[in-house]
């Protein structure tokens, strides 16, 4: 059974998620074949100096939102927030891991609001997206 907000302490690491980024996933998320840009077309990406397509930042945000959905449950949809910075490019094929650690905990009535440091890292452990997420738990 998942811990409640009152049981979770600052420093608690939430369960991670792992995703394999492929060219097909990157293209599908960004509207291939109708949309042709450096997120979908390897030739355009190479003309801009990249080795291949660059994952769209919002795909990483979707992965981190899934991480938060898994942890916060329904409260993520009714009052969750996510703020991210995209700090390193991601290229197919890489396994990405979404992680989060509780940074702050405040009691709000009969619920607890948790603020998490969240990030997405590549196979080498390099952070590619970083930010904060917040929502309530009972």
- CATH number of the domain encompassing residue 27: 3.10.129.10
Tell me if 58 is assigned to some domain: yes
Could you check whether the bond before residue 103 is cis, i.e. omega within 30 degrees of 0? no
For residue 110, the model assigns a pLDDT of 86
Tell me if 1 is assigned to some domain: no
**Low-confidence stretches of the chain (pLDDT beneath 70):** 1-2
Tell me if 7 is assigned to some domain: no
For residue 1, the model assigns a pLDDT of 53
Tell me if 11 is assigned to some domain: no
Structure pTM?
0.92
Q: What's the CA gap between 96 and 52, in Å, rounded? A: 17
For residue 116, the model assigns a pLDDT of 98
For residue 64, the model assigns a pLDDT of 98
List Cα–Cα distances, 22 to 44, 67, 90, 131, in angstroms: 17, 19, 10, 24
Tell me if 34 is assigned to some domain: yes
For residue 103, the model assigns a pLDDT of 98
Tokens of 109: 């009535």
For residue 32, the model assigns a pLDDT of 92
Q: How many CB atoms are located within 10 Å of the residue 39 CB?
A: 21
Tell me if 119 is assigned to some domain: yes
Domain with 119, as residue range(s), is 17-137
Q: What's the CA gap between 41 and 43, in Å, rounded? A: 5
Tell me if 2 is assigned to some domain: no
Tell me if 3 is assigned to some domain: no
For residue 33, the model assigns a pLDDT of 92
- The total number of structural domains in the chain stands at 1
């Amino acid at each position: 059974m998942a811990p409640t907000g009152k049981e979770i302490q600052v420093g608690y690491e939430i369960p991670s998620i792992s995703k394999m980024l492929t060219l097909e996933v990157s293209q599908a998320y960004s509207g291939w074949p109708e949309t042709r840009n450096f997120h979908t077309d390897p030739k355009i990406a190479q003309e801009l100096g990249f080795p291949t397509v660059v994952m769209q930042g919002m795909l990483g945000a979707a992965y981190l939102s899934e991480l938060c959905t898994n942890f916060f449950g329904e409260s993520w949809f009714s009052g969750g927030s996510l703020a991210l910075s995209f700090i390193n490019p991601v290229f197919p094929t890489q396994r990405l891991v979404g992680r989060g650690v509780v940074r702050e905990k405040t009691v709000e009535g009969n619920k607890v609001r948790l603020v998490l440091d969240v990030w997405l890292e590549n196979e080498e452990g390099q952070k590619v997206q970083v930010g904060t997420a917040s929502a309530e738990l009972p």
